[in-house]
Structure 1
Amino acid sequence: MPQIQSIRQRRRNGESVASIARGEKVSEPTVRKYLKADDLSARPPVRRRRGSVLDEWIPVIEGMLAEDRETWHKQRHTATRIHERLRDEYGVEASLSTVTRTVARLKREFMAEREMGFLDLSWHPGECQADFGQVDVRYRGVVTRMRHFVLDFPYSNIGPSQLMPGENAECTCQALRNLFEWLGGVPRRIVYDNAAGVGRRRFDEIRLTRLFQAFQAHYGFEYSFCNPYSGHEKGAVEARVGAVRRRLFVPVPGVWSLDSFNLRLPGRCLELGDKDHYRKGESQAGLFDEDRKALLPLPAKP
């Protein structure tokens, strides 16, 4: 899935099909196939007939590799040493070649996610941050604690929101899809406060859910994550989460239909931006028009 996204991104940047094929080490027909695809949404998972003998030991291997990142480079694990430790300490019966392939794959995934995790605090039109907050609503007569998802555009200081029952991948992708359709386009880059709803953070690594990977490839936006313990990177979205909660969820609102409530919610969030930007001195609504003009087009199929 990351390679499909890379192919489509390079094409949007004006690169030729032949150049993309050489860069991605695939054939030109393969490049054209992925460029023509108008539906990259998730497919029902296909159950594998037989899993790898190392599947249940992946957390152990990841732990060894995580320890290496805090160790002098000359005293780090090789694949052979990991194979020996798995055999001697855990009784794992796996070949050296299987362990070597698994270690190489985990290292590649870590490096790719680390590169995508770099955060640039210079915000441009069409870029945004995403985060969840907690709110109480009177859902069908019963006070229920739910989550409000906020997609904050720091360039304009506008943050449309959606009310969701939880913070899992399904809720995240549904909230994003609703907001993309309301916006009429797709943000160029989305920065997440943490991995909630899109993956799981383990030490310095973030493992994305398959659903979010497919969703991101389908809509074509870039993504990154705030660095741990870096509050200055997420102050804007946290402030927007609090502002939406105070202005639109106090007093506790009554909700009968989530779909109907969410249909009106982004417009109400936009009304909160009927003032000048706190730094730029320009109308937030006018700046938000620039955000919307910078959006990527929606795919042919949702």
Structure 2
Amino acid sequence: MELLSVIRRWHCRDHLPIREIERRTGLSRNTIRKYLRAESIEPRYQVPERPSRLDPFVDRLRGWLVLEAARSRKNRRTARRLHEDLVALGYDGSYGRVAAFIRQWKHEQHQARQTTGRGVFVPLRFQPGEAFQFDWGEDWAVIAGHRVKLQVAHTKLSFSRAFILRAYPLQTHEMLFDALTEAFRVLGGVPRRGIFDNMKTAVDRIGSGKARQVNLRFMALASHYLFEATFCNPAAGWEKGQIEKTVQDARRHIWQDLPAFADLGALNAWLEARCLDCWERLQHIELARTIAEVHASERPHLMVPGRPFDGFVEQTKRVSPTCLIQPSCVMILQPLHLSSCSVDCGCMAWPRLRLTS
């Protein structure tokens, strides 16, 4: 580029003959005349077409890439592995040529998705009182001097980002019902829609697309609180990304400072107070206000929860003289007692029948 600029200055400005320019530059007269006649500002060189050693294997490699794109990320073959498979078929070229072809193929696929609209994601935006998100997490705590593993229920309003945590020993129906009931109490109401993953306590069977066979007891809960249950696609955590992020943040910022507690009720009371304190301190990610201030503006848009949902299931059984329970439902005998869960958490635990003498 610099040499071409010098040639143009010598000929057009200084009026040097082509023979003198040839002597100074060492270029042929035909080359100098070509640049001057075309009035080129930037030199262009014609690259000769050279056949690549990968050309006979291009169709095979492209077919492999299409198949690998349909597999899960963990099961895909790497570019190094694809090069080894091509070598086994007779390819004697370099790995760099194969890697360059794969990069070009992925770039073309990305451009095609952008053109057709596939692969374009729209950020989720919610109206006040529109939706809440729910998910389970797993953490450890010291209860009554013992370190126990707990299942933590996370509930979060999608608009104000107000969240609440409650810990339970298991992820049973009754503990799920109690977690949502307590969450609606703390949040001050019920949104019109709930976003869940496909947990077994809510979904009995996953159909094609968004088709779900919802559990009858969970359906009764949703009908009681009048919210519409929406279930994410399998392995699509981004559809409820707010609560997924809350599970991570709570593990880093809340559970690391966790003291010891006498029982699970004291832990849940501490978690509730800590969440309310976070509402006052944390800024909303989109609005220039705290979470507590945004939640106060969203609260009038929430539905009134009404009476708590009764999660108990009562069954009548006949007891024989040998203390065997028969399936025929006639009456409830007085010697039958109901016991709650093994940890005193105050939740609506699944009632279990226990015989007493």
TM-score range, shorter chain: 0.5 to 0.7
> Using a 3 Å threshold, how does the CA distance of structure 1 residues 181 and 262 change in structure 2: closer, same or farther?
same
Contact in 1 for aligned 2:204/2:214 (Cα 8 Å): yes
Deviations 1:98-129 (A, max 9, x none): xxxxxxxxxxxxxxxxxxxxxx9331222210
- Larger Cα-atom Rg: 2
Contact in 2 for aligned 1:137/1:144 (Cα 8 Å): yes
2 CA distance for matches of 1:154 and 1:278?
A: 12
Taking the TM superposition and a 5 Å limit, the aligned residue runs for 1:97-108 are none
Match of 1:163 among 159, 167, 176: 167
* TM-score scaled by length of structure 1: 0.55
- Structure 2: tracts of 5 or more residues without a match: 1-122, 310-357
2:293 equivalent to 1:286? yes
Greater length-normalized contact order (CA 8 Å, ≥ 6 residues apart): 1
What is the total number of aligned residue pairs between the two structures?
184
Deviations 1:121-172 (A, max 9, x none): 3312222100000000112211111111111123122211111111222111
The answer for the alignment partner of 2:196 in structure 1 is 192
Taking the TM superposition and a 5 Å limit, the aligned residue runs for 1:44-63 are none
Q: Which has the higher helix share?
A: 1
The answer for the alignment partner of 1:182 in structure 2 is 186
Shift of 1:201: 4.0
> Using a 3 Å threshold, how does the CA distance of structure 1 residues 193 and 178 change in structure 2: closer, same or farther?
same
Deviations 1:48-99 (A, max 9, x none): xxxxxxxxxxxxxxxxxxxxxxxxxxxxxxxxxxxxxxxxxxxxxxxxxxxx
CA RMSD of aligned residues (A): 2.3
- Structure 1: tracts of 5 or more residues without a match: 1-119
Contact in 2 for aligned 1:195/1:206 (Cα 8 Å): no
Deviations 1:251-290 (A, max 9, x none): 4542322223223422311222323212222322111112
The answer for the alignment partner of 1:145 in structure 2 is 149
Contact in 2 for aligned 1:146/1:165 (Cα 8 Å): yes
The answer for the alignment partner of 1:27 in structure 2 is none
> Using a 3 Å threshold, how does the CA distance of structure 1 residues 183 and 279 change in structure 2: closer, same or farther?
closer
Match of 1:249 among 229, 243, 255: 255
3-state DSSP of counterpart to 1:250: helix
The answer for the alignment partner of 1:154 in structure 2 is 158
Q: What fraction of aligned residue pairs are identical, expressed as a percent? A: 28
> Using a 3 Å threshold, how does the CA distance of structure 1 residues 167 and 280 change in structure 2: closer, same or farther?
same
Contact in 2 for aligned 1:160/1:267 (Cα 8 Å): no
1 CA distance for matches of 2:232 and 2:284?
A: 24
